[in-house]
A and B are shown apart, each in its own frame.
Chain A
Amino acid sequence: MFGAEKIQELANVISHLTRQPMFQIGPVVVTSTVVNTWIIMLVLFIAVFFLTRRFQKQPRGVQTFLEIALEFINSLIDDGMGRTGRVYLPLVGSLFIMILVFNLSWFIPGMVPPTTDIMTTAALGVTSIIMIQAAAIQKKGIREYLHHFCTPMPLLLPMNIVEELVKPFSLAIRLFGNMFGEKLITNILFILVPVLVPTPVMLLGVLMGAIQAYIFSMLMITYLAEATHD
């Protein structure tokens, strides 16, 4: 049915998606994922810097769009933690926008989205869990924080510790698995039938990228609410 070279290409499909070493600074190898992340960060930084100059009382043009995005994240936080949770808006909001742009960067030709690399998602997961623990310590004080590991009884201490340790793992694997699976399936379809067939799957990718960003920030808010409640 398919020629031998197509079978060969299918066997190598994963090598298009994994990170390649680009160059080396001392002992640190800089991979293609890191370079892609830098490019996206630069674009995002410049865009946000220029879009947030000259705000007016009467929103116009791009400012309305920014206000819609802010209102959306604010409503997420209000649902999860109540109005007092808005102190965590910078954390949750920047994570949401960053993951959304990472996921949608798929549609820049030649760009492999950084979230298809497990190292990026692992870094995001570990960072957000450390921030959540820090927020819990800041809110409750160190005594209360340590005490919460011994509830409802000290016998459950190992379970509580395992629960905290599993959180970054599951956050990272969820984001990675969804984006990587989506990209892998599109690439396989593209090798088999290059015309028109991958398009609906790619359209699904837009939806999937937005939903994954939403779910990541939603889980972050849930964990924050759980960690900081009295």
Chain B
Amino acid sequence: MDQGVAFIAVAITIVVPAIASAIAQGWTASTAMQGMARQPEAASNIRSSLLLSLAMIEALTLFALVIALLLWSKL
């Protein structure tokens, strides 16, 4: 098999989830910041659930990272 194509496949494996999770994280963070600006007294509650949901979104990208690393080590 052509090695260059395999490298591109590995790159796509990590790039597509990274784009998706960047969009999702940006959306989450902007909404949380709007919430914090409207109700500063609820800021600490919002901050902890914001971090939790960012971690949850990021986990999917990290699964993709692990799969990409596995594919890379197989090359």
Contact = CB atoms under 8 A, between A and B. Distances in A.
Interface of A: 14, 79, 118, 170, 173-174, 176-178, 181, 211, 214-215, 218-219, 222
Contact of A218 (B52, B59, B62, B63): B52
Interface residues of B, number: 14
B58 A218 contact: no
Main secondary structure of the interface of B (DSSP, over half): helix
Interface string B45-66: 1001001100100110111011
B66 A218 contact: no
Contact of B62 (A14, A79, A174): A174
Contacts of A215: 51-52, 55
Contacts of A181: 62, 65
Contact of B58 (A178, A214, A222): A178
A219 B55 contact: yes
Contacts of A118: 66
B58 A174 contact: yes
Given A170-B59, A177-B66, A222 B52 contact: yes
Interface string B2-34: 000000000000000000000000000000000
Of A176, A177, A219, chain B has the most CB atoms within 10 Å of the CB of A177
A153 B59 CA distance: 29
B48 A173 contact: no
B51 A173 contact: no
Contacts of A79: 45, 48
A14 B55 CA distance: 25
